[in-house]
């Protein structure tokens, strides 16, 4: 369902010296407010498990962007530009070759995605990634997309939008996800972890070390990454993560104190 349009009528009632105001809708409209609003399908449908890689993408500064004057004139246009670009660049990153009737891909495209209000969430089936190199390739592609946004899309669109989000922040994790409503949504600890990873200090890119061996996943790019431990609320007091060494070096001394 996604949303409901209830036709409210305003009514007033006086009891003693107090006047009350309340809204009225029909019985049919009242019954429209149900679990279907969440658009999850049949929630009791048997769940299935997938081995997944999660990427949570956040538009840094999107709240400030939304707080500008007459935001209704710019938010839809910006989101259309950004999301159209995001899906196009993701397809380009995984494209190996196009033929007359087929498309050859490096690994696979996400099997699930959703808008999160200030970014997007994507899930890949790691069983389709053709080994650890393919799994690492997803992470490398997402880091490349962060750079493409900062150095290509931002300079282009910032000419047309005020207070445009300056960069993307991405958190990546692996794990099992459980389907809800036959695949209308998914839950899993790795989703929560990825969501928290994109919020670490001023970093723009972080990967959970769980299931990521840098030498095996990133090959010649392995030396670009370092392993650090950090407390993540609700997950672990010493969660090992992979971050780019250049990103870590750019942190302030105060920010570095939270890493071990």
Condensed to tens digits (0 to 9), the pLDDT of residues 94-127 reads 999 999 999 999 999 999 999 999 999 999 999 9
Other Cβ atoms closer than 10 A to 140: 16
For the stretch 48-96, pLDDT in tens is 999 999 999 999 999 999 999 999 999 999 999 999 999 999 999 999 9
DSSP per-residue string spanning 173-222:
EEEEEEEETTTTEEE-HHHHHHHHHTTSTT-SEEEESTT--HHHHHGGGG
Instruction: Report the candidate in 44, 79, 81, 32 with the shortest Cα–Cα distance to residue 181.
Output: 44
Report the pLDDT averaged over residues 130-149. Answer: 96
Which residues touch 250 (CB under 8 Å, ≥6 apart)? none
End-to-end CA distance of the chain: 46
Is the Cβ–Cβ distance between 128 and 64 less than 8 Å?
no
Question: How far is residue 3's CA from residue 34's CA, in Å, rounded to a whole number?
Answer: 11
Dihedrals phi, psi of 208, to nearest 5 degrees: -65, 135
Whether domain 41-256 has CATH 3.40.1710.10: no
Range list for CATH 3.30.70.1230 in the chain: 41-256
CA distances in angstroms from 148 to 9, 72, 179, 244, listed in the order given: 50, 27, 32, 16
pLDDT score at 3: 87
Closest by alpha carbon to 51, among 200, 236, 210? 210
Q: Which residue has the tokens 């397809």?
A: 91
Chain centroid to CA 149: how far? 15
Write out pLDDT tens, residues 188-213.
999 999 999 999 999 999 999 999 99
């Amino acid at each position: 369902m996604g949303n409901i349009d209830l036709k409210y009528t305003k009514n007033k009632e006086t009891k003693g010296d107090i006047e009350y105001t309340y809204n009225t809708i029909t019985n049919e409209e009242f019954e429209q407010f149900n679990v279907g609003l969440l658009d999850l399908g049949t929630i009791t449908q048997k769940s299935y498990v997938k081995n997944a890689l999660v990427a949570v993408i956040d538009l840094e500064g999107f709240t400030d962007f939304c707080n500008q004057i007459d935001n209704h004139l710019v938010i839809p246009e910006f989101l259309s530009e950004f999301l159209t670009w995001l899906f196009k660049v993701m397809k380009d990153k995984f494209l190996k070759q196009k033929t007359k009737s087929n498309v050859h891909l490096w690994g696979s495209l996400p099997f699930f995605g959703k808008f999160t209000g200030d970014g997007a969430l994507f899930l890949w089936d790691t069983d389709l990634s053709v080994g650890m190199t393919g799994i690492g390739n997803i992470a490398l592609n997402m880091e490349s997309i962060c750079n493409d946004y900062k150095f290509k899309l931002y300079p282009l669109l910032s000419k047309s939008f005020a207070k445009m989000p300056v960069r993307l922040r991405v958190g990546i994790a692996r794990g099992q996800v459980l389907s809800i409503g036959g695949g209308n949504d998914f839950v899993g600890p790795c989703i929560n972890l990825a969501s928290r990873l994109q919020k670490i200090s001023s970093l723009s890119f972080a990967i959970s070390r769980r299931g990521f061996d840098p030498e095996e996943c990133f090959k010649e790019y392995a030396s670009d990454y370092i392993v650090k431990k950090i407390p993540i609320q609700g997950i672990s007091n010493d969660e090992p993560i992979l971050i780019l060494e250049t990103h870590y070096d750019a942190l302030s001394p105060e920010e570095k104190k939270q890493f071990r």
